[in-house]
Structure formats: structure tokens, C-alpha cells
Chains A and B, each alone.
Chain A
């Protein structure tokens, strides 16, 4: 039966691939290109590490890599496994047929392996092989690496299955889907943080770090895989075989454990999911009290606000920026000298902090407001049949997608002003400047949403087409540069002019052009003297409001004409007009 199902899945996979449209192939090509770039890096990195690392540090190194491989497998396969077990449309049909749950389960297990875990396995094998070549290890090591890597990945995959089968019993079903999407987004960030751990802990020399004892990792089965690799690399076949056998037993036990919980976890879990969400009461309205009805523009914004507020997946948009901003703080906070220098040079720290804040957050603003169109998904008919103009809809969506990040920035601004000890007017100036710059970004983003809105139930946070995402980036860059120049004019201290002038003379290319433009802005500021503040503020307002109005008008026009939201439903794509 398992073979029959496997054949069915294989046929389905072949037909899905052969019927793919250009738009669906592009992301696959992008992944392929990424893999092609990644392979030489892995091969070169592995080989280089193998050639410099002392033989006594190898066991610990293998232990870290096998542990990392297992964690990556777990993180990447958890959402995939969830989708295969509980969201897949074929499960309902399969459960009505006289097929034992375990047969369905094993085919799903295979599907998860080939769709996600196999990639980790290939990369792990490539890395260990190149490492072995660099370290000139015993020949037997090269034959054993694929098997041991496979056991590592299988442990990870089995843990992902166990996690899902148990999770479905514990987490409220209304939250499970949202949690899974959150985990998909988090996976990349967690891996980034894992890689950053040595930096965060101040371990600059990776090789040096290997000599440290790793007591926690030695307790894990991945360490047994590492022991096997270590013995095989030295040519100790028997001892290597013993550790490998231990690892194989560990894999068998974990997979057996999944087998034990599969009947309860899979079938009942799927039923639980299909029952629909538990009805959750919101705060009860007070009886007899009238509930303020607002203007349509405010009502549209509030509707968006509730969608963002009540879905944890929406918060994911802010997470990367938050982490990118928080991670560099660790080395600064642990370095007393750096911290003192920041507090002493308030103007420089203000400029750098705001430069970074504006750069990261404004890039996010566009995507955030663009997502507001795709968020309408299948409920798009409501706005279309209501007596609302395109401008009302666009304005309603714009204000809230501008305001939410602004509140986020206000909190950061207050925190930094207190922590670094900036003057209060510096904090206010930074906040106002950000507000204006962000306004234009939100307008551009909204327009991008109207030309390439998308909704994918499996990836609800991806709400614009890939091509539109690139277009949004392309339009954002000149706007950012323009605003950067205005900000330079407004805030850059004129005392730095001689250094900039000197630098611009020596620099060439894009850097030279930028330096010349900065020099020009500062020279103009010097020329205008006390008038410069007024001129700067006027420029900021005109550019920001002008760009916002232009894109708001374009968005409204598109909404009035009727826009398309690409609703990706499995392999089919349908459209609904707004």
C-alpha cells in the first residue's frame, strides 16, 4: 500500500512540475541559482577548515556541525511536516479509504524527506566530504559520510514529526496555523543567530572555540554521529562502526516513537484541525451603550489594524528588522569603551542611529503597506460592492500602515534618547524626519500592492508578487537617495564639510558621486546660513507629501479601475477584482 501511495505522489509531483507556469518556475530558478552559489562556498569553506583545524578538535567540530544539521532539519521541516500532515487536501480522501494510517504516514514522511530534508542531507555530505579532503582523513570516512549524514537528517525529521504530532494535541487549534507560519519565518532568523553565537559571545576565533568543552552536545545522539565520524576519519573502523550503530539505534527508536503516536496524533490531530477554530469570545460590548460609528476612511484603517493586531503572522514583518537592529548591540553593550564613546559623541551617535533606523525601517514600510491589498484576499468583494471611492480605500489603508511602524519607531526613539542621553529635541527631530520619509515609502508600497497583490493561504505573509517586490525596491532606492540628500541638508553638521570636500576629491565612481552630492548639500547649507533649517524642512515636506500624493492618486486610480489579487490556491491561481 505504501508503494502504491508513493507511486501516486510521484505521478502527482511529475504532473505538477510539467504543468508549472513561468511565474511558478522563477522562484525555483532563484533557489537553484542560490544553491549553485552556496555549493562552492561550502566546498571551499569545508576544505579550508579541514586543512587548518587541529586533529584533536575534530570531534567537537563534528559534534557542532551534526547538531547544527539536525537543528536546521528540524526548523525547516516543522512547517513542511505540518502542511503535509494536517493541511494537505488529499488527507481527507485518504482517510475515507481503507488504508492504514501508518501507510499514509510513511508516504508523508518520504514526501517531507525529499521535499526539504534531502537538501540538508546533500549540503551536509558535501561539507563533510570537502572537510575530509582538506584534513586528509582515512579513506573509509568518505564512504561513511553519506550514511551518517543521513542518520543526522532522519533524527531531525523524526523530531519534526514528533513535534507536530504532539503540538497538535496541545496548542489551541485556532493558533496552530499561525504558529507554523511564524516558525517558517523564524527558521532563517534562528539559524542566523546560531551562526552569530560565537560573535555574540565574543569568540572571535572559530578554531580556538573548538577546543572548548561542549558538555551539552555530548549528551545528544548527534554527538554519537560525530564520534563515529571522528573514528572513521582516523581509520578506526570498528570503533567507528560501534558509534554509528548507536546512532542508527537512536534513529530507529525515535522513528519508532513517532510510529507509536502516529495513530493518535495524525488521525485525531487532523480531525481536530478540520473541526474549525474554537469560538473565541472577544471583549463583550457593554449593553445599552452606543458604539461610535466613524468615517469610512477611519473604519477601513481600523479594519486593517485589527487584522494586524489579531494575527501573529503579521508581526513577522517587523521581526527581521528588530533582530538586525538588536544583534549589533550585544558587542557594543559588552564593550565598555565603545559604549562610552557613543554616549560622549551624541551628534555622531544620533546621525548613525537614525541613518540605520531610517534605512531598515523605511525598506520595511513599503512591503508593509503593499501587503494591505493582498490582505483583502477572498473578502475583496466587500469593498468593491460598497460605495467607497478608490481614494477613500487607499487613504484608509495608508494611514494605518504608516502609523503602526511610527509607533514602533517612537518607542525606539524614546528608549535611545534616554539610554544614550540625547537632547529631547534631537529625539523629536529624528522622529518627525522619519515620519515624513516613511510616508512616501508607504505610498509607494500601497501602489505596488495595487499592481501585484497576491494571497497564498499557505504563506499568508507573502502578499505581493515577486516581480512587484523587485519593482518596489527599484522605486524605493531613488526615493531613499532623494530623502537621504534632504536629511543630509537638514541634519549634517557643517563642521564636517572640509573632510567631506577632501574625501569627495579623492573618491570616484558611485562613492565619489555620493560624496560630491553630500558636499554640495552641505555647501548649500553653509550658503543659506540661518535659512537652511526652514528650507530643509520645506524640502522634506514637499518631497515626502508630493511622492505620497502621487502614489496615493495612482493607487486610487487602480482601485477604481479594479485591481487583481492573485489568489494562489495550491497549484491553481485565480484572481478576484477589487
Chain B
């Protein structure tokens, strides 16, 4: 069953095309990795999908609901974790979670159980009564993630979720996302870390200069590139960095091998 459907989704700023018409469908329980170099249009696409940025053209459907025609209904199904988790500095972690749960009208018992489960998972139990302004970047990211999970969304959008997380938390996040997807939650994640995309994602999309260059499972991408042994890094560099970058890396690897 399709959970996310993008049809001719486009964003322009004046004459510049930040995202060229994009068509994409993501199924229920799928973990989708969205890759691309800096400024490729990843965040712009996610912002259009989460109701933060109005598309110039095209539609975004979340669980069959148009995000820009019925925003409230569509937003009830999603959670978003931005790359910079700017939260309310004068709320405590617990108050922030309570606020999110109130908006989604989560029952008190469910909220309590879920919040405590995820707080424990990310080692936040002891700091949940502190003001968010005193949290480190990683802690903010984790509490925002708990806030995203507390209402059990159908779709989770994550923009560079592992940036700022300690290795332990990053690993827990990876496991958690995989488990959530196995239980039917859909995850749309942008990342720079190719290893995460390669090992975790069901499918990967590679975008550069606002255009989706390739999409598929790792197997499909290798087939498209005509090299069955290629890593995602090889495929990514070949598609986004051009031949020069790929050759440069190969020559460096070659030199390294001679030393």
C-alpha cells in the first residue's frame, strides 16, 4: 500500500529550479533513504512533504491525503525531525513531550508508557525535567525524536538524523527505525552517511541539482550502474560527483595501496 506519493512535485525560486518535477511512491513499512550532495534539494523536498514549504507545482499525498489540500488531516499521520532541532528553550523535555502528545490527543496512559520507553532507550530519563535550552545538540535531537515517536505516526520524516548523535544513540536509532518499519511505519530519511543507507534502507533515491537521478534497491542500483560489486559510494560518486571525482578517489586509493 502506498503511503507517500509525490506527483510532479516541483519547487522554483525565481528562475532557479530547486527541485525539478519529482515523481515518487513509497510503500507502507518501507525505509527510504534520500541521498544527495549538499544543496541537492533533499531538505527542500522534505519540507514540501511535511507542509513547511509550499510546492510551486505538484502534489504530496500522505496515506492518501493531500498535504496541501487537507494539511491538518495529513499532518495527523506524520512526524518530522529536522537536521537542526530548534525546540522551545524554556520548556523542559517532559513539558515538550506533553505538548506534542496534547496536540495529537494521545491518551494519558499511552503517552506515559511511550514517553518513558523512548526516554529510557535514549538515556534521557534523568534529564527530562531540565530546560531544553540546557540540552546539547545530540540531546535535543533525541528529545525531538522521542516527540516524533510519542504519537505513533504512520510516516516519519528525518533530515540527517544521525548528525550530532553519539555512536551508541546512532546505533539505537538505526535499530529502532528498522523495527518501526518492520511494524508498518514508513520512514523517509535523508542522509549523508552512505553506510547507513546501504545497510538499512529498503530503497535509495539519489538526487542532485534538484533532479532524481536514480532510485531502487541496492541490487537495482548496481544493475543500473552495470557493476554488480559496486558499493553505494561508487554509485553515488559516479552519479553525483561526475567521473572526475570518482577517478580522483580511485587514484588516491591506488596511491594509498602502493605506499
Contacts and interface: CB of A to CB of B under 8 A. Distances in A.
Interface of A: 174, 276-285, 290-296, 298-299, 302-303, 306-307, 309-311, 377-379, 381-382, 384-389, 562, 577
Q: Main SS of chain B's interface residues?
A: mixed
A386 B88 CA distance: 14
B129 A283 contact: yes
Contact of A379 (B71, B75, B86): B86
Contact of B131 (A282, A291, A577): A282
28 contacts: A279-B130, A280-B131, A281-B129, A281-B130, A284-B129, A285-B129, A291-B108, A293-B98, A293-B101, A293-B102, A293-B111, A295-B102, A296-B103, A299-B103, A302-B99, A303-B95, A303-B99, A307-B89, A307-B91, A310-B90, A310-B131, A381-B52, A385-B50, A385-B75, A385-B79, A387-B72, A387-B104, A577-B52
B23 to A, nearest CB: 23
Given A279-B130, A280-B130, A282-B131, 12 more contacts: A174-B133, A174-B134, A277-B134, A279-B127, A291-B94, A299-B99, A303-B99, A310-B90, A381-B52, A384-B51, A385-B51, A577-B52
A378 B103 contact: no
Contact of A311 (B52, B54, B90, B98): B90
Given A282-B129, A299-B102, A303-B88, A562 B54 contact: yes
Interface of B: 50-54, 71-73, 75-76, 78-80, 82, 84, 86-92, 94-95, 98-109, 111-112, 127, 129-131, 133-134, 136
A293 B50 contact: no
B78 A385 contact: yes
Nearest to B94: A285
Given A290-B109, A386-B75, A387-B103, A381 B130 contact: no
Contacts of A278: 134
Given A280-B131, A311-B90, A385 B98 contact: no
A292 B94 contact: no
Contacts of B88: 303, 307, 379, 382
A27 to B, nearest CB: 26
A306 B102 contact: no
A577 B79 CA distance: 18
A176 to B, nearest CB: 13
Contacts of A311: 90
A280 B134 contact: yes
B159 to A, nearest CB: 10
B131 A382 contact: no
A277 B133 contact: yes
Contacts of A384: 51-52
B77 to A, nearest CB: 9
Nearest to A311: B90
A292 B95 CA distance: 11
Contacts of A577: 52-53
Contacts of B75: 385-387
A129 to B, nearest CB: 49
Nearest to A289: B112
A279 B133 CA distance: 9
A290 B102 contact: no
